[in-house]
Amino acid sequence: MKKLSFTILGILMFAAFSFGQTANDYLESGNRFYSNKQYAEAINNYSQALKLEQNWTEIWYNRGQAYYFTKEYGLAISDYTRALLIKPDNKNALFQRGLAYNKSGNNAAAIADYTKGITFEPYDAKIWYNRGIAYSDKGDLDLSLKDYDQAIKLDPNYLKAFVNRGSVYFKKKQYDPALADANRVLQLDQTYVEGWGNRGVIYRMQGKIDLALADLNKALALDPNYTKGYLDRAVAYNQNKRNDLAIADLNKALKLDPNYLSVYIFRGAVYFDTKQYDLSKADMNAALKLDPNNAFAKKILDRIAALPK
């Protein structure tokens, strides 16, 4: 018998190896990449698995997850939907599709998915919480509050639910219940930086500037890189007519985030009020580079242009 050459043997061995890869092999390989947050490689392996097996809900779901974490929400939604077509009671796929819908701005679709999810898991605080987020993003604040209430009823130590419910109360200018939620957050976690920052802002809106500054100082002591904290403290300093300290904080905020639009706007306003018009003009122009249609920046620039020369 004629012997095969090493080249032919190599080709045959490679072919055998290639054809030996099963959908499960690709799935397991994808899962390893996914666990290491190597999402592009995970997606490639899941896609190879789907070429071999179209009716395996786990593969569609897992690829959807990888797409979700690469912020390709449309592709994630498509894969979650395929998973649900195969297994309509796949609660994880339904929940994650709700997240992806909300991230992509389709709040109504997210709410629909969470509502269906609640029929499967009515005692899961996380579903109520996330539907509360979707309602809030949609502008239905009262419905959002009801869902956060239910999430907290199911889990009395649900810190994020207290944070978000307090935020909704704040939007509705109901500062007393917002303060109560902020206090509860800090009872649950004294190291929660945004908890101190949020309570500081509530105190400021109530006119309690000293208490506001104390909380914002605490937040920034816990995290010197808490950029929003510098802006919020600057606003409190400005209300207390301590504009030198306000400007110092705004400068720190911009050092941490040179593209922080709100900081340029507020610093420009402080400069305008203190008649430092050239500095105000520079900040408002910087703001317009970030947001060309910013009405407030345009208004201040028009007022500066109208000043006597």
| Arithmetic mean of pLDDT, 120-138 | 97
Q: Is residue 1's pLDDT more than 90? A: no
pLDDT band at 21 (very low <50, low <70, confident <90, very high): confident
What is the reported pLDDT for 63? 97
| Arithmetic mean of pLDDT, 151-175 | 98
Assign residue 242 a region (left: φ > 0; alpha: ψ between -120 and 50; beta: otherwise). beta
Burial-class residue 299 by CB neighbours within 10 Å (0-12, 13-18, 19+). exposed
User: Given the structure tokens 């397991």, which residue do they identify?
Assistant: 28
DSSP state of 5: P
What is the reported pLDDT for 18? 44
Lowest mean pLDDT, pick from 8-22, 168-182, 223-237 = 8-22
CA distances from 211 to 170, 199, 206, 208, 266 (A): 17, 9, 10, 6, 22
pTM of the model: 0.85
54-83 pLDDT, tens per residue?
A: 999 999 999 999 999 999 999 999 999 999
User: What DSSP line would sit under 57-116, residue for residue?
Assistant: HHHHHHHHHHHHHTT-HHHHHHHHHHHHHH-TT-HHHHHHHHHHHHHTT-HHHHHHHHHH
Collapsed DSSP state (helix, strand, coil) of residue 252: helix
Q: Is residue 16's pLDDT more than 90? A: no
220-268 pLDDT, tens per residue?
A: 999 999 999 999 999 999 999 999 999 999 999 999 999 999 999 999 9
Contact criterion met (CB below 8 Å) for 90 and 84: yes
| Arithmetic mean of pLDDT, 184-190 | 98
The radius of gyration of the chain from alpha carbons, rounded to an integer in Å, stands at: 27
| Arithmetic mean of pLDDT, 94-106 | 96
Q: Which domains does the chain have, with CATH numbers?
A: 23-114 (1.25.40.10), 259-309 (no CATH)
Q: Is residue 17's pLDDT more than 80? A: no
What is the reported pLDDT for 20? 58
What is the reported pLDDT for 14? 40
What is the reported pLDDT for 154? 98
What is the reported pLDDT for 143? 98
What is the reported pLDDT for 152? 98
C-alpha 283, offset from chain centre? 27
| Arithmetic mean of pLDDT, 112-135 | 96
- The mean predicted confidence, pLDDT, of the chain is 93
